[in-house]
Structure 1
């Protein structure tokens, strides 16, 4: 019996990867290396995954066509930016020669030599790539530009050839800058968590690299420091800025037994944190990994562009050859005029703008979302979220807080404080969720709960009784107190109880054998953000909102009405929720389901987009959902829909503009108005416009 071993896989980061065509070429080069079975370039994250075995030197050689630098993913290499003059000295020198050439007499030997120098300095790397591609019959933008510039020189159009070179170089430089800016969002996350931490081991405090820190180590975090690892606070109290993880702008109070995350900022107190995860397993490490994976996934629009571009460039070559040869051969046209027009077709046909139109928008949008505490797990989900027009919500833990809270204290014979004290003393021995809500409320109000509850007795399904300060008290359902003394529940009190119950609240009564002391209403209260979020969703064009819950009809209706939800479905089983999601999809085409990422898995999977709440520290949420709202703030959902709609609109705009500008420029060939410099200006302008248009996604506000 043979044993199969997993294929070796290595991930490397790439420095200098600025264009989608270069990424595809590098990927193909690596695939043909000895020992490599497959390779995948992640253009958005500037990484390559190599399956099989190869060397770093071989990878560097595969990327030498564009001077790409490759290094292991976890290598601690500090990248230093070259000064602008040093990085682009050849472009600056080429530009200087171009200016001098235009100052010299036209068509003079001196001007020709200066323009030739401008072409050589500015286009050397371009010619090297283009000529190699030409011999291999690989037609990309470098090939097209090389043929066009050489053709212009042969025709004596030295000034236009030099202008084309300098404009192309400027276009590439600006494209590189824009791509770096788009990637900056994920780099911000990578830099969020410190690489070292102060750890107490064997009664000694030592500074360790995060890769050396083990689960169970005690990490010491001083005020003003960032946490390097996920963990649980074992000593100290502080406020933590969790913006890198959840996108929350307001710091959160944390004390003993609370969970904290790597990359967050300790603002005030000294904390001792017990490490619960290794460096590679921290929440922020998983976010970075998932964001980079998401940026690698091709959205439907991008898949269309990639497929289109494969046939587009050879087609442009054919059109250019036809324009250059057919009129002179068959229509008595001038060779120099029509060859020049053919070269203009090559230049304007460069697919730069078209190729970059979709990936830069997706990289920018996913990165922006991650910085705001929203994890979108691929371009396909970004596009799908942009099309959503109906959203279904789970109730508990999504629209509501997920745990009961005291909402009303109604005292009849004592003040509210005394009513709450007696109730909490009675309930502090109980494990019921409603009891814990009362005890929490009393503790947060600073009430002393040291007095004992004597002769405690629980009456199953009804309530409890015990002695406090020598006096017997009863607490439970109103029906339980009516059993003790039917005269206690007066008509006025009964009306009050029914009103609270109709609001979806559980009402508990507290009394003695002769009197009812007061009522306490408990409910799983609505999140502060829910009402605002639902209002904003309607503003963003969501036509239908639906609540799907297993809770009773009265509670569901009360909460749904308070939130203004369009349709409320209660007392549902998981399979019923699944059926309702399918019905919604039939009616509205694209439907999102929002839940907690653990329950309602079938409904989340059946929806066009499954969205999980509160993914910070929750592996299940990050694994199961298509989009994860890292915090418990539902207001991130309208932001996600807004960003996705904007991204979808920008992708469509970019594609339409990129193709439209090409068609417009090609129409100028017929009257002979399309010059080489106008062609490259159109191509460069289109590239810059789609890039700038995509970067507008960075400005989308929450």
Structure 2
């Protein structure tokens, strides 16, 4: 099974995406995802079809794989016009003379000749049918008629009616050449404006992607161990390569510092403009900017494995998701084109038989109905808003794993916090310790504690292992981490060891005031105390959430006195301490039954609760399991953008509702207006293009809108 990621050009609406999606699924491909806004298409190929075969199939549908094997091999079909702007510029040259008679006081007799108008219209009609006609036929053949069916029908009707009048010698009563040409020309203009507007919704993502290729200074050593530095493209780097990074340069790929200290801006990833100080063994994110200092580092990830690539991948995957609010619009879009064609036919017949305007004027009204209707607006309403919402979030260090989370955020009433590593920094330090067993030396006690805690992912255990690191650690026959309890191990002689919370030592002592208890063969040999600082941004975040009407809850496995202290410092509404992972899960389920609840956590203990919450939110330095269980990841090393994530979710959903409201309202008003003859097909075609631009502009407002 191979994962394929393509960039497909030419998709302009939901129906286009449905056509490609349906074709790929018919070919037996799995996990098919199509995003017409960015043109991203992904699927798993299992040998049932070859990639060149699939490329040709997509090309046959009227679209183009920009990064496929046929293009790379130079065998892709060369197109005369590359985009809608080029088509518009070509067509407008021939269309303008046809519209001269609309200018008051201007009358050029030669341009009224039907054969001159036919000659001017043919180039426009050919270009139009090459795009709209070809696309219309292919979409109908796949059972998903798109907007181009309406444009093609309107243009063919106007051109055919005019040509018939010219051939029978009664051109004066059948002269609608300018209608056919102006429909095609203005729709090309509208499509180009729509494309440019939609592109702006991707602006934040493009800023993230722009740093994917930079120059790097690679370090190599000759036979005499002399160091040589030479420039290479970052895309040619491999894991383990050594690089020199200097002030003012971009970090080429994810790497780890071997030597030196620097001040680096990670704003492109985290949204935080303040530079971060980095030293030996610290990790650098590819794409971040070095503001001062010089370091030598080795590459830890390249290509799709880098933090930046994973961010882009997550956001693109989220864009392909459809929140429930879009489902009604999709159902309407699927029957929209046949419905509009039916209304157009009814308009033609009703005006011809029940008014005295004649067949020509009735046909114009029917054509106006075809070209003014806009199924794209309903298909574009949700993807445009989601693209901007996800892009702004990613730019500020908030990753939504799916678009559904954006909609779910609108109903969140409560926020549950874990304590350690979430509200606190997770950077513990040992404040005190005591050896209780006189047969155990202080050195032996530290060796046992280090040897147990080095296998744990818990922040407290990591701090002990970091401070008491030794070379001659204890070797274990078996060692395991028990969630909510601590570390258990057995040595080769069969001795049993435990490093855990008070729960592990409650049968051995009544003193529950210490952080870690070390036990050997059911004998308490000592305890360790650690201290943890509250995150500097935590109080402001909690107060901001409370000011916006959220109830705040602290749910932790830590002791009640420690939890009460943190809650009091931050002003948290409710505290639930000394909870096991199973109890956390039950409590989150209970909170969900009361009101939709967001859970914020970072530890392995939080993973079940994160998965159970209405929305699970994880910090980027969280355990891998916690990040996988969460639907939202905060990349900015803290809680700073938690209110932003909640606000963006609400306002993105609000923007989707506004867009859908506009899309429905536009079509409900525009189609009757055209049917009753208040708009010509020419103005109808222009309005159709502008209707999508309105949606894009409303969506782009999310980039600057105050959401917190």
Counterparts in 2 of 1:247-266, with a 5 A limit?
247-266=271-290
Structure 1 residues 55 and 215: alpha-carbon distance in aligned structure 2, compared to 1, 3 A threshold: closer
Tell me if structure 1 keeps the 8 A contact 2:62–2:134.
no
2:199 maps to 180
Counterparts in 2 of 1:472-551, with a 5 A limit?
523-542=531-550, 544-551=551-558
Taking the aligned partners of 2:653 and 2:136, their CA distance within structure 1 comes to 36
2:386 maps to 362
- Which secondary structure does the structure 1 equivalent of 2:604 belong to? coil
Taking the aligned partners of 1:319 and 1:99, their CA distance within structure 2 comes to 28
2:5 maps to 11
Taking the aligned partners of 1:529 and 1:564, their CA distance within structure 2 comes to 13
Taking the aligned partners of 2:598 and 2:460, their CA distance within structure 1 comes to 32
2:655 maps to 650
1:225 positional shift: 1.6
Taking the aligned partners of 2:690 and 2:61, their CA distance within structure 1 comes to 26
Structure 1 residues 234 and 76: alpha-carbon distance in aligned structure 2, compared to 1, 3 A threshold: farther
1:166 maps to 185
2:568 maps to 561
Decide which moves more: 568-577 or 329-338: 329-338
Structure 1 residues 576 and 74: alpha-carbon distance in aligned structure 2, compared to 1, 3 A threshold: farther
Counterparts in 2 of 1:129-528, with a 5 A limit?
129-132=131-134, 137=140, 139-153=145-159, 154=161, 155-195=174-214, 197-203=216-222, 204-208=228-232, 210=234, 213-326=237-350, 328=352, 334-404=358-428, 523-528=531-536
Identify unmatched segments of 5+ residues in structure 1: 1-5, 408-426, 442-503, 507-520
1:492 maps to none
1:540 positional shift: 4.0
Taking the aligned partners of 2:562 and 2:32, their CA distance within structure 1 comes to 54
1:193 positional shift: 3.6
Decide which moves more: 652-661 or 562-571: 562-571
1:435 positional shift: 13
Taking the aligned partners of 2:586 and 2:248, their CA distance within structure 1 comes to 51
1:473 maps to none
Taking the aligned partners of 1:535 and 1:221, their CA distance within structure 2 comes to 40
Taking the aligned partners of 2:248 and 2:369, their CA distance within structure 1 comes to 59
Structure 1 residues 30 and 575: alpha-carbon distance in aligned structure 2, compared to 1, 3 A threshold: closer
2:102 maps to 102
Q: Deviations over 1:603-652 (max 9, x none)?
A: 10111111101349x64454332110012231211111111111101100
Determine if the alignment matches structure 1 residue 574 to structure 2 residue 581.
Answer: yes
2:508 maps to none
1:36 positional shift: 6.6
TM-score, normalization by structure 1: 0.75
Taking the aligned partners of 1:597 and 1:307, their CA distance within structure 2 comes to 41
Taking the aligned partners of 1:75 and 1:274, their CA distance within structure 2 comes to 35
2:504 maps to none
1:130 positional shift: 3.6
- Which secondary structure does the structure 2 equivalent of 1:131 belong to? helix
1:66 positional shift: 4.8
1:635 maps to 640
1:159 positional shift: 4.1
Taking the aligned partners of 2:177 and 2:58, their CA distance within structure 1 comes to 34
Q: How many equivalent pairs are there?
A: 596
Structure 1 residues 687 and 255: alpha-carbon distance in aligned structure 2, compared to 1, 3 A threshold: same
Determine if the alignment matches structure 1 residue 47 to structure 2 residue 30.
Answer: no
Aligned partner (choices 674, 681, 684) of residue 679 of structure 1:
684
Taking the aligned partners of 1:289 and 1:283, their CA distance within structure 2 comes to 10
- Which secondary structure does the structure 2 equivalent of 1:249 belong to? coil
Q: Deviations over 1:164-218 (max 9, x none)?
A: 3333222101111122222232232222244553333344445455565443332
- Which secondary structure does the structure 2 equivalent of 1:272 belong to? strand
Taking the aligned partners of 2:333 and 2:685, their CA distance within structure 1 comes to 18
Q: Deviations over 1:340-392 (max 9, x none)?
A: 32222212223121121111111121122111111111211121123322211
Tell me if structure 1 keeps the 8 A contact 2:369–2:675.
no
Taking the aligned partners of 1:56 and 1:237, their CA distance within structure 2 comes to 49
- Which secondary structure does the structure 1 equivalent of 2:605 belong to? coil
Tell me if structure 2 keeps the 8 A contact 1:94–1:117.
no
Taking the aligned partners of 2:592 and 2:58, their CA distance within structure 1 comes to 47
Taking the aligned partners of 2:429 and 2:257, their CA distance within structure 1 comes to 25
Determine if the alignment matches structure 1 residue 127 to structure 2 residue 129.
Answer: yes
Identify unmatched segments of 5+ residues in structure 2: 74-80, 162-173, 223-227, 432-444, 454-458, 468-512, 516-528
- Which secondary structure does the structure 2 equivalent of 1:235 belong to? strand
Structure 1 residues 692 and 121: alpha-carbon distance in aligned structure 2, compared to 1, 3 A threshold: farther
- Which secondary structure does the structure 2 equivalent of 1:236 belong to? strand
Taking the aligned partners of 2:542 and 2:121, their CA distance within structure 1 comes to 59
1:661 maps to 666
2:64 maps to 68
Taking the aligned partners of 2:562 and 2:569, their CA distance within structure 1 comes to 11
Tell me if structure 1 keeps the 8 A contact 2:84–2:191.
no
Taking the aligned partners of 2:640 and 2:70, their CA distance within structure 1 comes to 35
- RMSD over aligned CA atoms reads 4.0
Aligned partner (choices 580, 595, 600) of residue 594 of structure 1:
600
Taking the aligned partners of 2:462 and 2:611, their CA distance within structure 1 comes to 34
1:471 maps to none
Taking the aligned partners of 2:97 and 2:379, their CA distance within structure 1 comes to 31
1:535 positional shift: 2.5
Decide which moves more: 157-166 or 250-259: 157-166
Structure 1 residues 87 and 534: alpha-carbon distance in aligned structure 2, compared to 1, 3 A threshold: farther
Taking the aligned partners of 2:236 and 2:343, their CA distance within structure 1 comes to 60
